[in-house]
Structure 1
Amino acid sequence: MNAPPTGVVVDAYTTGNLLPAAFAAHGARLVHVQTRRAVSTALPGPDLARFAGNLVYAGEPTLDELRALAPAFVVAGQDSGVALADLISERLGLPTNGTALSTARWDKHAMGERLRARGLRCARQFRSADPADLVRWRKESGPGDLPVVVKPLGSAGTDRVYVCRTDAEIEAAAAAVLGGPDVYGRPAGEVLVQSFLEGTEYIVDSVSRDGEHYFCGVWRYHKRLVGGRPVYDRDTLLAPDEEPVPALLRYVGEVLDALGVRHGSAHAEVIATPDGPALVEVGARMNGNMHPGLHRLCLGHDQAALTALAYLRPEEFRARWAGRAYRRLRPAAVCNTATGRSGVVVGVDPGAVARVEALESVHAVAVKLAPGDRMRPTTDLLSSPLRVFLTHDDPAVLDADVRAVRALAERVYVLAGDGPGGAS
């Protein structure tokens, strides 16, 4: 009897934890590899109980341990694992995106420069460890070149992403980026400043095998600025023939080819500018908002299951999915709630959660904080306290339920110092 196939996941933060179940459906087991000994607490970390083992990468000895396991594939669970997943898969002779363009798949500056070299539309940009250099670049770009976007080179979840309208704001934002590690615990080193892209922002998710791409879904972002920082509000699933989806798919296909994404999942964020699609960034990993149950209902598949199929049954993946785009079976939305409250969570009100769950279109509710956690005012995706997944045949019901979720969300958490009735 043949042993079940073994695979490797590097840094299974957030939705990387969905991969063990997806691969287990095909009889495969997964071993986890950490890029760093210290696991970041800024994101939901690896659930090691889901994996057959865990290794902390230490160079050649770890590669020897992995060779002994004879893995069939290596997958990045988050952006922080992309470079190491590329290296391990290349060194072990497995299906790989390779190391030659690896930096361009996680470093946002290298990513933009690679696209520019290939003639693909993207933001103008500059990187430096000196905030004054960023202001100097802005001035040399022209006095009208405001606002600009300041962000870390390789973080996630809108971590310290600022839309800056003055040079003083640029310097303050750069100092904030340089003042601490990114969400994976890595020092900033340098800061990225980019020209502001006017237009609506979209998500384009994909899974690839041998350079053939399947587009899993396109979602329209609804964001608002809070103190100059973009805060996620709602993602809305678009139909594949809805504008500007066809142009987005063509453009992202060219982006994936330019960045050497030949295997595995990708999550692209794109602005539909007046001149056409332009990349914000792309991660060679799954969508962090992906919920398998919701995606199966509204799309007939989910990105984790398709990733497993692409690695374990490539012929089936190519025959059924490669070179195609998704179908929308029913409308869907993901709502990330915002709060202005601050304090220590002392309880979660089950009645308030139940009222959210009882809304007609609600499929699942992710309560992100627990007693003892600190709630802070929402300034990015990481500080959104509640995520709600919704789907319904009638878009009007979806819209009404999103409004109801926002109205109920503040009642979910009880903070130290709240009165008997909790948040009002």
Structure 2
Amino acid sequence: MQGNKPVVVLVDAYTSGKYLLPEFTALGAETVHVQSTPDFMPSMPAPDLSGYRATIVHEHLDRTVEQLAAYAPVAVLAGQEPGVELADLLSEPLGVPSNRTTLSAARRDKYRMIETLRAAGLHCADQFVGDDAAQLRDWAEQVAGYPVVVKPLKSAAGDGVYVCADSAAVLAAARAVLGSDTIYGETNREALAQSYLRGEEYVIDMVSYSGRRYVCGVWQYHKRLLRNGRNIYDWEHLLGPDEGPVPELIAYVDRALAALGIDYGPTHAEAILTPEGPALVEVGSRIAGNMHPRFHDRCTGGNQATLTALAHLEPERFLAEYAGRRYTKREEAVCCTTSTGLSGVVTGVDEQVVAELTGLETVFGLNVKIEPGGRIRPTVDLYSSTMRIFLSGPSADAIRRDRRCIEELKDRVYQIRPDECE
């Protein structure tokens, strides 16, 4: 089956993973999609498979490896979080650049992730994992103190994450996590409790090849803690490559990736700058969820999707031109994640309001996340947010002005049939 073009395998190219396909295609590659589950995951929009040379639904490792070997792929990458471990399992026997399977579990399981960093001498949260809510409460009471963070071991996007102020909140959060399913359809047999990291939270995005890295961007999160303990995303803004804590954060994440055995591919790390120094919240071995290639090109001079494709198809060029370097801040940039208190069925999208939003001076683009027929519900995590809006411009004041307009308009985008009217 081998043709003249190199073939790249993408595993579970959901959400922002969709941006990898056109970038590999633009550099002359063909792509094969591997789906890790029998059916598409209902929590995310199904990937558009029309641009792939072939699609494979994974059932048995040896069979999937045999099917992929016929294409002689040059790379295997996770398109989204649930594909990380399968991409590792496939890349080794196919003989392509690989992060290997030795630490694969630590790249998804947050308890193992943090313990791996601790063993490497990096500053981390204290933590405890258990399958009984009372165990987590006892640890909080006797060891950690409050507040305590309770969350699933293998989810993302703020799913099931609670900031707990007392023992009753820990019990309630642990019971909510245990036995529930993550956004990826995995059942939480255990829950993780961690000491609360005090400080500002940052995003550090990189692309690696052969252990050498390019820093694509560092952003500061601005979140809002709800009364129920959920800490939701509001917006994040781009920092300059030498601004404030950025060099310290980059150095810490570089050590964290090395400890986790991440030598290849894109990574999306979240870290909190505590009084004792940076501490990892988590890192995903895939591109960032806020990825918008042209937006990032505009404000940072590059983007993870393009650079991931370049690294795997033209590694000599990536190593010569990008490895060991970092982005530039070309202009002020913000990514807004809009929240809502609305609940009901979406019956339509008011295009006039959407046009009003896109017409704001600094709005580069927006994603309307809920289609007619879908449900809108009060925001508790990224997956229940309503829109993602990208803003950029020469002045932070102009962006702040447009953010105020967004707050006024956001709940008018969706026409809904409220739950109480059903």
Deviation of 1:169 (Å): 0.9
- Match of 1:347, SS state, is strand
Q: Which moved more, 1:39-48 or 1:177-186?
A: 39-48
Name the counterpart of 1:262.
263
Q: Which moved more, 1:330-339 or 1:41-50?
A: 41-50
Question: Is the CA contact (8 Å cut-off) linking 2:302 and 2:327 kept in structure 1?
Answer: no
Q: Distance in 1 between matches of 2:114 and 2:102?
A: 16
Q: Which moved more, 1:55-64 or 1:301-310?
A: 55-64
Q: Distance in 1 between matches of 2:46 and 2:273?
A: 33
- Match of 2:50, SS state, is helix
Q: Which moved more, 1:216-225 or 1:131-140?
A: 131-140
Q: Which moved more, 1:236-245 or 1:175-184?
A: 175-184
Name the counterpart of 1:325.
326
Name the counterpart of 2:364.
363
Aligned AA (2:377): R
Determine which of 58, 66, 71 is the counterpart of 2:73: 71
Question: Is the CA contact (8 Å cut-off) linking 2:205 and 2:216 kept in structure 1?
Answer: yes
- Match of 1:183, SS state, is coil
Question: Is the CA contact (8 Å cut-off) linking 1:298 and 1:332 kept in structure 2?
Answer: yes
Deviations 1:322-354 (A, max 9, x none): 011111111100001111110001110011000
In the TM superposition, what are the counterparts of 1:191-230 in structure 2 within 5 Å?
A: 191-226=191-226, 227-230=228-231
- Match of 1:49, SS state, is coil
Name the counterpart of 1:380.
381
Q: Distance in 1 between matches of 2:259 and 2:93?
A: 22
Deviation of 1:2 (Å): 6.1
In the TM superposition, what are the counterparts of 1:60-209 in structure 2 within 5 Å?
A: 60-141=62-143, 145-209=145-209
Matched, 1:242 2:281: no
Aligned AA (2:203): I
Q: Distance in 2 between matches of 1:2 and 1:264?
A: 24
Name the counterpart of 1:232.
233
Aligned AA (1:292): P
Q: Distance in 2 between matches of 1:255 and 1:210?
A: 15
Deviations 1:171-196 (A, max 9, x none): 11111112421111111111111000
Deviation of 1:216 (Å): 0.4
Deviation of 1:17 (Å): 0.8
Deviation of 1:77 (Å): 0.8
Deviations 1:380-420 (A, max 9, x none): 111111110010011110111111111110110011159xx
5+ long unaligned stretches in structure 2: none
5+ long unaligned stretches in structure 1: 419-424
Deviations 1:287-314 (A, max 9, x none): 0111111101001111000000000000
Deviation of 1:50 (Å): 2.9
Deviation of 1:139 (Å): 2.2
In the TM superposition, what are the counterparts of 1:285-300 in structure 2 within 5 Å?
A: 285-300=286-301
Aligned AA (1:240): P
Name the counterpart of 1:422.
none
Question: Is the CA contact (8 Å cut-off) linking 2:343 and 2:418 kept in structure 1?
Answer: no
Give the number of equivalent residue pairs: 416
Aligned AA (2:246): V
Name the counterpart of 2:355.
354
Question: Is the CA contact (8 Å cut-off) linking 1:17 and 1:50 kept in structure 2?
Answer: no
In the TM superposition, what are the counterparts of 1:406-417 in structure 2 within 5 Å?
A: 406-416=407-417
- Match of 1:251, SS state, is helix
User: Which TM-score applies when normalising by structure 1?
Assistant: 0.96
- Match of 2:47, SS state, is coil
- Match of 1:363, SS state, is strand
Deviations 1:71-94 (A, max 9, x none): 110001111111110111111111
Aligned AA (1:216): C
Name the counterpart of 2:58.
57
Aligned AA (2:204): V
Aligned AA (2:212): E
Aligned AA (1:91): P
Q: Distance in 1 between matches of 2:29 and 2:392?
A: 31
Aligned AA (1:206): M
**1:101–1:417 Cα change, 3 Å:** closer
Q: Distance in 1 between matches of 2:3 and 2:337?
A: 45
Name the counterpart of 1:6.
7
Name the counterpart of 2:39.
38
Show structure 1 runs of 4+ deviating over 3 A: none
Q: Which moved more, 1:325-334 or 1:175-184?
A: 175-184
- Match of 1:51, SS state, is coil
Q: CA-atom RMSD, angstroms?
A: 1.2
Q: Which moved more, 1:36-45 or 1:292-301?
A: 36-45
Deviation of 1:54 (Å): 1.4
Aligned AA (2:134): A
Q: Distance in 2 between matches of 1:199 and 1:353?
A: 35
Q: Distance in 1 between matches of 2:129 and 2:199?
A: 24
Q: Distance in 2 between matches of 1:37 and 1:259?
A: 29
Q: Distance in 2 between matches of 1:29 and 1:406?
A: 42
Q: Distance in 2 between matches of 1:99 and 1:417?
A: 48
Question: Is the CA contact (8 Å cut-off) linking 1:234 and 1:336 kept in structure 2?
Answer: yes
Deviation of 1:135 (Å): 1.1
Deviation of 1:127 (Å): 0.8
Aligned AA (2:296): H
Question: Is the CA contact (8 Å cut-off) linking 1:219 and 1:238 kept in structure 2?
Answer: yes
Q: Which moved more, 1:178-187 or 1:3-12?
A: 178-187
Deviations 1:223-251 (A, max 9, x none): 00122101000010001111110100110
